[in-house]
Structure 1
C-alpha cells in the first residue's frame, strides 16, 4: 500500500471541505432556490444581485443602520417593479411595493399569507415566545380572539371619553413644558392605552415610562436585525454552540421584569375586587371569555397591547409636528375647518363627536401616516402554500413584506403633504386606501382606537398651538428611537384665549396639577 503524500492529503481535505460547504449551502438554501416538485423553476420577481449563501443580507443590514439610508434602500427596491425579490440568509423575501399587489397578496389571499416565519431570537429569546404579534397562527388566533373585544361599540365610546381627558393633560403639559412636546406625545399615547388595558389613569414615574419605551424600542428594532433570525436553523444547535443566547436571554429577562412591574398591581387589584373596568379585568382574566393562556401569556398579551398601541401613535404625532413645520398651508386649512366648528376665539375644544364635521382633519390623519409611515416595513407574512400570481409562482415559505416606504410613494406627487388626496368620502375609515396597520387577517386590531386618538390629538394641537423649526431640520430624519428631542421645535400657544381655554378645561377635568408636576 502506497502511503498518502502531501498533495493527496490536501485533495482529501479539499474534497471533504467542499462536501461540508455544499451541505451547509443546501441546508440554508432559501425557498426560491430549491426546485419545485415537478422540477420546474420558481418564477420570482426581479431583485438585486447578492452573495453566495448570504444573498442580499449584508446589503440590507447596512441599510438598517440609519433610518435615512433604510428609506433610500426601500425606495430603491421599488425601482425593480411592483414586487422585488431578496435572498436574505435562508429566507426568500418578496417586497410588495404598490397598493395593488398588497391588496392582491395580503388581503385577498389572506387565508394562505397569514402565517409568521420562525424568528428564534426576536420571537423566542427576547419575547419568550409570548408576543402575539409574532406568533404562529394557532397561538395567534387565541390572542386575536381576546383583542377583538377592544372593538365593541360600547368600549370605543368609553375609550373616547378617556382619550379626551388624557389629551387635555397633554395640552396642559404643552403649556407647562413646551420644550418637552415629544414627551407629552408619549405620555398621552401610553396613558390612553394604560387606561384601556389596565384600567387606571397613568401615574407611573418617568423611569418606569422610560423603561417601557426602552422595552418597546428594543423589541421592534430586534425584528429582522440579528443573524439567527435569518438562519433559523442555527437555533437548533446545542446551546453551548449558541454564543448569542446569553445576550438575548438577558434582554428577554429585562423585558419580562419590566412587564411584571406594570402587571402585578393590576392582578392584585383584581384579586382584591378593587380594580376598575379594563381589558385585563373584563376580558383577559374574566372567566366568561375563557382565555386559554397562562398568567405569563396573559401578562405579555396585556403589556404588548399597551406597547403597540402607544408607540405607533407617538411616532405618528412626531411626524405630524414635522409635517406642520414643513407644509404649513394644509395645517392653516385644517385650522379654518376647526374654527368653523369650535370658533376662532377659542370657544371650545374639538371633540371626537366632531369627526363627521371635520373630514379634512380625518384626511390629515391618514396623510400623516402615508407621508411618514411609522413602520418602514410591516413584519413579514409567510405563505403556507405555493402561490401562482400573474406571471409569477412563489413557493410555500416565501415571506411577503409590505414595503411601507415604497407603498407610501404610490400616489401622485407623493413627496408633497396633501390631505386632499384622501378627501374621497372615506376620510372616516383610516385603513381605506393605505396600509400603515398591515392587512389581511393580521391587520392591527386597534386601528379604530388609534384613529380617534390621533384625530383628537391633531385637532386639538392644530387648534391651540403653533409650530416652528428651532434649528436645522431634515424632514426624513425623524429619529423615533432617540430618548431626547427628535428634531428641534419651537412650540407656542396660538393665542392668550387658547391658552386660557386649555387651563380652564384642565382645571375642570382635574388634570392641571398633574400636568404641572410632570411625569
Structure 2
C-alpha cells in the first residue's frame, strides 16, 4: 500500500506541476489562432470529439475559419481547413512540420516503429528511400500491374459466385495484392491467417490514432498513473492485447520470407528483393521489416474502403453506372476485360475514381503532423509540439472548390475547367505522404473498370420494397462505409461467359 501511495503521490505531483506550468502566463510572440474558448485548467478537453472528428472540425471551420486552435492538458492542436494553408505549412515549411506527435496509445502498441508514426529524421529518410525504390512512383508500381489485374479477375469471379460477400471479397483481394507484393505470400482461401493478422492490427491502429478515442492521448501525463487507478487496468489490458497483434503483423510475415529464402523457394517481393540487394545489418532489417508492415496500412486498408465506396456510389447512381459502361463498351468492346494499359483511354472511369476518393475520403483527417519548433504563421503563434491536423473531408467538400460537394458527380473532373484533383488532398500533404498512394490508386481503378465492364450494380428489392443502402461511414483514422446491401449480377450472358473465360487463364 505504501508503494502504491508513493506512486500516486508522484503522479499527482507531476500532474500538479504540469497544471501550474500551464496556469503561469508566459509571453508569446503572437496570438493563438481562433477556436472554441475552453475552460480554465482543462482547456478544450470537453470540446474534443470522440468520433467523426471531421464533422465537428467542419462546424468549427464555418465558425472560426481556416485555422482552428485548441488546447488540452499537455497538447496544443491546430486544425487546418484550407488547402492553401495545408500546402504552406506542411509542404513549404515541411522542415519543421514533418514530425509526428506523441500519440501515446499508438506508440504503446508498437506503431511508432512504422512509417506512419516514426519520428522525423534519418529513419524517415531511410524508410522513404526503401519504399520509394519499390513502390514510390507510378513507374515502380507498373511491375505489379499483372498481379493487381490477376487478383482483380479473381475478385470478379468471386462476385459472380457469391455477390452477397462483396466486402469480404474486397478485403481478401486487397490483402492478396499487398501480401504478394510485400512478402511473396499467396493468400489461401477466404479466411487467410496473414490477412486476418494484418486486418486486426490495422483496425486497432485506426482506433488508436483517431483523436479523442483515448484520454491518454489528450492528457499524456495520465501514463504516470498506476495500473490500479480507476480505468487504467482496462486501458493497459487493451494496449497489451493490441501490441501483441501489432507485433504479429510486423514479425510473422517477415519471418515467413526469411524462412522461404533460407529454403531457396522465396518468390520476388518487396522484402526478398531488399534483403538480396542490400548489405543488410540489424538496423537495416528493422527498416525493411517496418516499412513492409507499413505498406498494408498505406495501401491495403485504403483500397478496401475506396472500393467499397465505389460499389455504394454505383448502387445509388445508376445513370452514372450506365454512362461508364457505355464508355467501356465503346473503347474496349465486350470481348475482353479492361486492363491498366487502357487507363488513358477511359476518361470517365478515371473521373469516377477521382470522385470516389473525394466523395467520402478514406483518411478524413489524415495522419497528424507535429511542429518541431515555435512558428509564426499569418501572425498566429503555433507552439512547438502542436499536433497539426488537416481536415481533408472539409477540403474535399468545400463548395468554393467543388460544386454541390455532397453529390457524387464524376463530371466535375471533365471538360475544359475540371475541379481540383482530390488525390492531392486525400493521401496527405508534405514529406509524409501515404506510401501506398500509387498502389491504391492503381488497384481502385482496375477494380472499378473491370466491375463495371461485366456487372450491373443496383439496389436490393425485397418483397417488392426497395432497400435503400445505409450511407453512413465508420469512425476512425481510416473510414469505411458501414455494411450495406446491393444487387450485383452479370450484365449479360456474354459478360458471364467472359468472367469464366478470364478466370481460367
User: TM > 0.5 between the two?
Assistant: yes
Whether 1:110 aligns to 2:122 is no
Match of 2:331 among 324, 327, 341: 341
Say whether the 8 Å CA contact 1:86–1:93 is kept in structure 2: yes
Moved more, 496-505 or 242-251: 242-251
Question: Of 217, 220, 243, which residue of structure 1 is paired with 2:206?
Answer: 220
> Which SS does the other structure have where 1:92 is aligned?
strand
Q: Secondary structure in 2 aligned to 1:132?
A: coil
State the match for 2:84 in structure 1: 100
Separation of aligned partners in 2, 1:473 and 1:58: 34
Q: Tell me the distance in 2 between the aligned counterparts of 1:348 and 1:204.
A: 26
Instruction: Select which of 49, 53, 72 maps to 1:88.
Output: 72
The match for 1:353 is 341
Looking at structure 2, the residues matched to 34 and 338 of structure 1 have their Cα atoms a distance apart, in angstroms, of 66
Q: Determine if the alignment matches structure 1 residue 143 to structure 2 residue 127.
A: yes
Matches within 5 A, 1:267-278: 267-278=258-269
From 172, 176, 189, the equivalent of 1:191 is: 176
Determine if the alignment matches structure 1 residue 161 to structure 2 residue 149: no
What is the aligned partner in structure 1 of residue 278 from structure 2? Answer: 288
- C-alpha separation between the residues in 1 aligned to 2:197 and 2:67? 38
State the partner residue of 1:265.
256
Q: Secondary structure at the match of 2:43?
A: coil
SS of residue paired to 2:69: strand
User: Are the counterparts in 2 of residues 168 and 505 from structure 1 also a CA contact under 8 Å?
Assistant: yes
Counterpart position of 1:472: 468
C-alpha offsets along residues 175-223 of structure 1, whole Å, 9 cap, x if unaligned?
0100001111111111111111111332265052334212110111111
What is the distance in 2 between the residues matched to 1:399 and 1:96? 11
Aligned residue number for residue 390 of structure 1:
378
1:152–1:369 Cα change, 3 Å: closer
Report the CA distance shift for 1:207/1:20 in structure 2 as closer, same or farther (over 3 A): closer
| Cα displacement (A) at 1:151 | 2.9
Report what 2:57 is aligned to.
Answer: 74
Larger CA deviation: 469-478 vs 418-427 = 418-427
Task: Determine which structure has more spread, i.e. the larger CA radius of gyration.
Answer: 1
Asked whether the 8 Å contact 1:162–1:192 carries over to 2, the reply is yes
Aligned residue number for residue 7 of structure 1: none
Q: Deviations over 1:375-421 (max 9, x none)?
A: 22112111112222224232222221111221121222111112222
Instruction: Give the Cα separation in 2 of the matches to 1:161 and 1:311.
Output: 20
Task: String of CA shifts for 1:427-458, please: whole Å, max 9, x gaps.
Answer: 9x9665x3111011001132112211111011
Aligned pairs for 1:320-339 within 5 A: 320-339=310-329
Q: Which residue of 2 aligns with 1:417?
A: 408
SS in 2 for 1:206: coil
**For 1:128 and 1:391, how far apart are their aligned partners in 2?**
35
Q: What are structure 2's unaligned runs of at least 5 residues? A: 1-11, 461-466
The answer to whether residue 49 in structure 2 is matched with residue 55 in structure 1 is: no
Partners in 1 of 2:449 and 2:219 — Cα distance? 46
> Does the aligned pair in 2 maintain the 1:115–1:384 contact within 8 Å?
yes
Residue correspondences, number: 474
C-alpha RMSD of matched pairs (Å): 3.0
Residue in structure 1 matched with residue 245 of structure 2 by the alignment: 254
**Correspondence for 1:500:** 497
Cα distance between partner residues in 1 of 2:94 and 2:459:
43
Distance change >3 Å, CA 71–CA 40, structure 1 → 2: closer
On the 8 A contact 2:427/2:433 being kept in 1, the answer is yes
Q: 1-side partners of 2:480 and 2:416: how far apart?
A: 39
Alignment counterpart, residue 314 of structure 1, candidates 292, 296, 304? 304
The 2-side partners of 1:40 and 1:258 are apart by: 45
Summarize the Cα distance change of 1:76–1:130 in structure 2 as closer, same or farther, 3 Å threshold.
same
Q: 1:472 to 1:26 in 2, by over 3 A?
A: farther
Conserved? CA contact 2:308–2:481, under 8 Å: no
Q: Provide the C-alpha distance between the structure 2 equivalents of 1:290 and 1:317, rounded to a whole number of angstroms.
A: 37
TM-score under structure 1 normalisation? 0.83
Call closer, same or farther: CA 1:347–1:232 in 2, change over 3 Å.
same
Structure 2 counterpart SS, 1:405: helix
